[in-house]
Amino acid sequence: MRILGCIFDLDGVIVDTAKYHYLAWKRLADQLGIHFTTEDNERLKGVSRMDSLEIILEIGQLNLSSDQKNEYATLKNEWYVNFISRMTPDEILKGSRELLQELRAAGIRTAIGSASRNTPMILERVGILDLFDAVADGNKVSKAKPDPEVFIKAAELIGIDPVDCIVFEDAIAGIQAALNAGMFCIGVGSANVLAEAHFVVKGLNEVNLEKLRTIEKDFRS
Ligand code: BG6
Ligand code: MG
């Protein structure tokens, strides 16, 4: 592979919004009388809003009508939007900005590949919209990760062949989506949780372009 495109998941990779998703879902679970833990929350990462609600309802063994589900998903999103509307550039995760700047200076195309329909608001709040050549998000795709649609779409938008793209992901479903797209995948987070990725780092501050090239080469050999 040649490293020509880098596609970044947003929540938990570029910005620390995973905590806000958790707080909003936790509040909803409490309201519904469902015991919901941080371990349960791992299953929600990378998963669409409605699928996340389904997982919580499954944990609580609760059946709701589709109108009720829509109502609760909307309520959770209102709480979540309340958090993210107050985000500042300080909440960009360590190393993200530097890596993006380095990649772009080297002529590598950058894109977001996120399930979130709140992607535009977050990028705008933290002021990094201009660091991406394209944004593929939950507003542009219909199939949730682990389906590869969002990453294929991102590659298409930046005009790079999927085999020449690296994906950065913090969610198990997202890593599977990247692998399903035929892309090289770097997990961002815990190596135990993200074992399916080609390589795992704790944060983007652990990588630069030279390191990416070494990781990829070592993997092939
Ligand atoms: C993903 C998050 O990026 O976006 C999930 O990891 C979230 O936790 C999903 O459910 C959808 O986000 P939103 O903002 O459209 O509700
Ligand atoms: Mg994520």
CA distance 162 to 13: 20
pLDDT of residue 6: 98
Closest Cα to atom 12, ligand 1: which residue?
116
Would the CB of 119 count as within 6 Å of ligand 1? Answer: no
Tens digit of pLDDT for each residue in 151-204?
A: 999 999 999 999 999 999 999 999 999 999 999 999 999 999 999 999 999 999
Q: How many CA atoms lie within 13 A of 126 on its CB side?
A: 23
In tens, the pLDDT along 203-218 reads 999 999 999 999 999 9
pLDDT of residue 200: 98
The pair phi, psi for residue 183, each rounded to 5°, is -105, 155
Q: Report CA(18)–ligand 1 centroid distance (Å).
A: 8
User: What pLDDT was estimated at residue 221?
Assistant: 83
- The confidence score (pLDDT) of residue 188 equals 97
Note the pLDDT tens digit of each residue in 43-78: 898 889 999 999 999 999 999 999 999 999 999 999
* Three-state SS sequence of the chain: CCCCEEEECCECCCECCHHHHHHHHHHHHHHCCCCCCHHHHHCCCCCCHHHHHHHHHHHCCCCCCHHHHHHHHHHHHHHHHHHHCCCCHHHECCCHHHHHHHHHHCCCEEEEECCCCCHHHHHHHHCCHHHCCEEECCCCCCCCCCCCHHHHHHHHHHCCCHHHEEEEECCHHHHHHHHHCCCEEEEECCCCCCCCCCEEECCHHHCCHHHHHHHHHHHHC
Q: Is the CB of 200 under 6 A from ligand 1?
A: no
pTM (predicted TM-score): 0.94
Judge whether residue 220 has pLDDT over 90. Answer: no
Tell me, yes or no, if 67 is annotated catalytic: no
Q: Is any atom of ligand 1 closer than 6 Å to the C-beta of 117?
A: yes
Could you confirm whether 147 is annotated as catalytic?
no
Q: Given this model, what pLDDT does residue 55 score?
A: 96
Cα 113 to ligand 2 centroid, rounded to whole Å:
9
